[in-house]
Amino acid sequence: MEKFRHVRKRTRRRVLDGFVQASVREHDPFIAELLSLQPFLFNFALRLVKNFSSAEDFTQITLEKALTAREQFGANGKGTNLKAWLFTILRNEIYSRSRRGKVGMCVKVEMELQASETKSPASQYNSVLLTETLACIDKLPFHQKQALIFIAIDGRSYEEVAQMTGFAPGTIKSRFSRGREALLQMIENGHSL
């Protein structure tokens, strides 16, 4: 992520300047809601790219794009769900950069195991299973991985995920089901790191 370090600093500066300019004016509900959704954007980005600095970069890029395209949000009566709009911007940015090979979508799962800590065989086995399961999730196609993360890990409903991503609930159910089946097949066949 060395090549994004300069982009991150420049982007943060631009986004910060946008927030400062907005705060000089009267209270702006768009900016307030944008700031309240920033942690959710970061968590989603972190789950997709599994890299803290990359997740920060993508969150800042998303905020910058949202600020510059602010007029498009409310155009034609479509700007009713800022959260869904921001998640779509974030998802598309990660997806387009991964297609261009600028972001590694493979996750290197790092389990924090303390050497001094002794674990029971059952908890060690569970740690291994978790590591292998997360590695298998990373091998799934982007849309299936996204559906699994939102529904199985975040605990969101099909309808909520459909609204956030802009796809029909049936499409989300299908992607979740296919992702779950593919994950089960990988685990049963012994695919792991």
Say how far apart CA 160 and CA 175 lie, in whole Å.
Answer: 14
Give 121-188's CATH code, choosing from 3.40.50.11540, 1.10.10.10, 1.10.760.10, 3.65.10.10: 1.10.10.10
Which 3 state secondary structure label does DSSP give 24?
A: helix
Q: Where are the domains of the chain?
A: 2-99, 121-188
From first to last of its 193 residues, what are the pLDDT tens digits of the chain?
444 444 444 455 555 555 555 453 457 788 888 888 888 888 888 888 878 888 888 999 999 898 888 888 866 555 578 888 888 899 888 888 777 665 444 333 333 333 334 455 556 666 677 777 777 888 889 889 888 888 887 788 899 888 888 889 999 999 999 999 998 888 788 764 3
Provide the whole-model pTM.
0.49
CATH of domain 2-99: 1.10.1740.10
What CA–CA distance (Å, rounded) separates 68 from 64?
6
